[in-house]
Amino acid sequence: MEATALAATIDHTVLKPDSTLEHVRTLCREAVTYRFASVCILPWHVADARHLLADDAVAVCTVIGFPLGASTTSAKVHEAVDAIVNGATEIDMVASITALKSRQYDRLLSDVQQVTAAVHDHGAIVKVIIETCLLTHDEKLRMCDIVTEARADFIKTSTGFSTGGATLDDVALLRQHVGSNVQVKASGGIRDVQTALVMINAGATRLGTSSGVAIVSELLKY
C-alpha cells in the first residue's frame, strides 16, 4: 500500500485532556503535510481547527459523549450539532455501553438513531464507537445490528481510553457483520505501519491514531 493511500485512511488524533491549542496547531500542520483524512480533536478545539484548516480539504472530526457514552441522548444530539455549527464535518459518538450491558436495546438504538439523524441532517458523517474491549462476542454482534439499523456511516472499535484498543479479530468481526452501508474504523493501539496495514486488510477503511506521522514515515522508507 502506498504511503499516500494509507495516509488518506488516518484520522490524525489528539484527544488527551491536557492537549493544548499548540498541539492542535501542530496536528493540523501535520495533517496538511501528510494528507490525512481528518484531524480528530476534542470539541473545545473544533472552531480553532476549522479556522486552521479553512483552506484545506482535511476534515475536522470530533468526539461526542466521550469517552464513556453515558451522556443522555439529548445531550449527545446537542453536543453533535454544536460541534457541526463550530465546523466539524465528522462526528465520532460513543454509544451507551451501560444501555447495552443493561439490555436496553430499544433505548440504545434510539440513542444512535437520534444522533445519526441529527448529524446527517446537518450534512456531516457519524462514526459510532462501541468500545469492543468491554463487550462480549454477542454484544459486538448486537452493536453491529444497531449501528446498521441506525444507518450510521461507520462503526468504530474503541475510544483509546478504556482497557484495550482495536484488534484484528474485532475489526474482521465488525466488517463481517455490519451492513454494506457501514464502514469500519479501527482505533486504539495503532502505532506502527504493520498494525495499520493489518487493520486495513481486515476491513477497516479508517484508522484512528496519534501516531500517523510515524506510521506514514515508516512506510515511506520502504
* Active site positions, annotated: 92, 156, 185
DSSP run (H or E) holding 201: helix 193-202
- Kindly write down the DSSP assignment for every residue of 120-180, as one continuous string: HHTT-EEEEE--GGG--HHHHHHHHHHHHHHT-SEEE---SSSS----HHHHHHHHHHS-T
Task: Confirm if 14 and 41 have CB atoms less than 8 A apart.
Answer: yes
